[in-house]
Structure formats: C-alpha cells, structure tokens
Homo-oligomer: A and B are copies of this chain.
Amino acid sequence: MAGGSGALLKDEVDIVIPTIRSLDFLEMWRPFFQPYHLIIIQDGDPSKIIKVPEGFDYEFYNRNDIDRILGPKASCISFLEAACRCFAFLISKKKYIFTIDDDCFVAKDPSGKEINVIEQHLKNLLTPSTPHFFNTLYDPYREGADFVRGYPFSLREGSPTAVSHGLWLNIPDYDAPTQLVKPRERNTRYVDAVVTIPKKALYPMCSMNLAFDRELIGPAMYFGIFGHGQPIGRYDDMFAGWCSKVICDHLGFGVKTGLPYLWHSKASNPFINLKKEYNGIFWQEEAIPFFQSVILPKDCTTAQLCYLELAKQVKDKLSKIDPYFSKLADAMVTWIEAWEEFNPAPAGEEDVDFAKLSIAKAAGK
C-alpha cells in the first residue's frame, strides 16, 4: 500500500513539516507523501524563499502569514524554533496529523524493505491502546499477537489511541550533554514493537516522527513558546508530550511508541543545543514531578477544558521556578482561544466560555 491512489486515508491526514532550509528531503518521500496533503511552515526569516519540489499538494505559511492569520494571538506561536509547526495543527481540517523533520529520510526494515511511516502510524492510531495493563507481547492488536494469559478480559477492548510516537534509526534523539559525550553513537537496533505507554507514566515525546488524532488530542498538542526571545529551546515537543500525556490519561486515551522508524540523517550542533537546552535541563527536574502529580477535575471533559485547567496549574505551580512559566501559561490560554476560533464546536455542542472560566490570562498577570 505504498503511496499511489491506494494510500491509506489519504483525505484524512495532513503532513506537517517545519523547515528552515530546503525541502529536498521530500524527493525521497515522494512515493509515500505525494498522495497526501502537506502543510509546510517556514521556521525563520520569511524573506528567504523555500522551494517545494513539484508534484506535491501543499499549503505554505511563513511568519508573515501566521501574524496575518492569527492577529494578536500569533504571539502563542514560536519563532525560529520548529515549535512553529503547531500553527499547522491549529488550522488543519483533517482528523490525523503526521509531522516530520526535514532531516529525516525513509528507513528500511531488517528485510531491506522501505518503511511506509504513515501507514504504520495510522495502524497504530486506528487500533486501540492498552494503557491500563501492560501486555508483555506488546501491541495485542498487531497481526500475530494477542493478549497474553492473565490479561483482564474486561480491558481487551482497549482505549482509543490518540498519539503514535515513532522512532529513529541512525542519529538518536539525544540531548546536548549525551551528544557531547557520545558523538559517534548511532542507533542501529530495529525493535519490531509498538508499546502502549501505561497510564500515569510520562515519556519524552519527540516531534521528529510523530502522529496524532487531532479530534481527540489536537488542543493539547501545543508546542509552547520556545526559541527566539525565550530563555529555553528544544523543549517544545517535550512540553507538548507532558501535557498531552497527562490529558490522554485523564480522558482515557492511549499513547503508543515504537514503530515506525525513519532515518535521522544528521545530528544537530551539540554546542548550540546545549545553549538552548541549558535552562530546560534544570527546569524539567521540577516541571516533570509537577506533571507526574497533576490531577484534573472530573468536569474537564474535553481536551480544551483540560488544557485550560493545566494552564492554570502551570501558572500556579511552576511560576516560582521562573517568570517564564507565567508567560507560557498565558500562551497556553491564547492557544486554546485560537483553537476555538479555528475549530468551532460542531452544532449542538458548546464552545468554551472563556468569560465563565476563572483562568483568564489577566487574572494571573
């Protein structure tokens, strides 16, 4: 089912690509991506021309477009950071998002076959997850696998899968200190598994190779304010991972990690990375225990409501680390305001009433 008109759910997926350089990497993905729609977000100087290879169906946005479309709410979208990709999550009209970095290429499985990442991500998302009990033979919904002896029968229907986190062969996704210490380490291990990350466990979500169900968890896939003008970078996807996992746990959705692999071609500069990550390395030591212990009230029944509550708690509990977290919490609220604007509730359902909620940004300022 590699590409062509037989591409799986071709009208229900947007491929989101943030880029600062060229899009030549798309040539290698042509058989897999051409049937789908792309949303390309230019990360950085909007006067620089980025050429999209011919034959792809795409929308393209630069910083000027984002400012024009979102107006004052554009402040919640990062500049000079791949975090800008979340603008595409906001304006997409599709059910599924697949996002990839522009230094990632098609990987091969151990039999030498090129891996169709989108197909595997969709398989992960279209089958349930098992967050309430660990299955030792991994994803029980894969062909040739099932629930093992002792798995409660009442849990075998599983939970809706909201996130599919894929992995990387060649250059692993290491932080700056590990890059510095192990400059030559390459990931050569192809692990033929998909695992549901159990409820209450957090994980480092990397956006290099990530898919999710926008309808289930889109509002929680906010990549924060990082990069230019901020005291921290390279934590955009981590932040989105903490928030989305906590909200998936609360709403009863599952998160899978493992297959599919792609080929990550080059390591970013560890010295630059260290500068960006520096504060995050400290701050995550307090932020992660906070996210591990967050409790969302029962009346948070949608991802939007959960997210606004989380914004409030981030402001209350993390601002003491650094005033940055207060700004971040405000941006989280702006993000949901923008989400509501571009994704109005279907007829018969109510939009979030910001006036009614005590989480208005001004209150905390």
Contacts and interface: CB of A to CB of B under 8 A. Distances in A.
Interface of A: 110, 133-138, 144-154, 165, 167, 172-175, 177-178, 182, 185-193, 195, 197-206, 234-235, 237-238, 241, 257, 277, 281, 284-285, 288
A132 to B, nearest CB: 8
5 contacts: A133-B288, A136-B165, A148-B175, A198-B201, A200-B200
B136 A185 contact: no
Contact of A146 (B174, B237, B285): B174
Given A152-B285, A178-B147, A137 B187 contact: yes
Contact of A201 (B133, B138, B144, B151): B133
A106 B85 CA distance: 49
Contacts of A135: 203-204
A335 B198 CA distance: 32
A257 B148 CA distance: 13
B149 A201 contact: no
Contact of A136 (B133, B175, B204, B234): B204
A203 B140 CA distance: 13
Number of copies: 2
Given A133-B203, A144-B189, A149-B206, 8 more contacts: A134-B197, A137-B187, A144-B186, A145-B187, A147-B174, A150-B175, A150-B238, A199-B201
A191 B149 CA distance: 19
A238 B288 CA distance: 32
B149 A182 contact: no
A148 B179 CA distance: 10
B284 A150 contact: yes
Contacts of A147: 174, 178
A133 B288 CA distance: 9
B145 A189 contact: yes
Contacts of A133: 201-204, 288
B281 A204 contact: no
Given A148-B174, A174-B146, A174-B149, A154 B285 contact: yes
Given A284-B152, A288-B152, A172 B146 contact: yes
Contacts of A178: 146-147, 149
B189 A150 contact: no
Contacts of A110: 110
Interface centre among A185, A195, A199 (most CB of B within 10 A): A195
Nearest to A188: B144
B257 A172 contact: no
Nearest to A273: B149
A186 B146 CA distance: 10
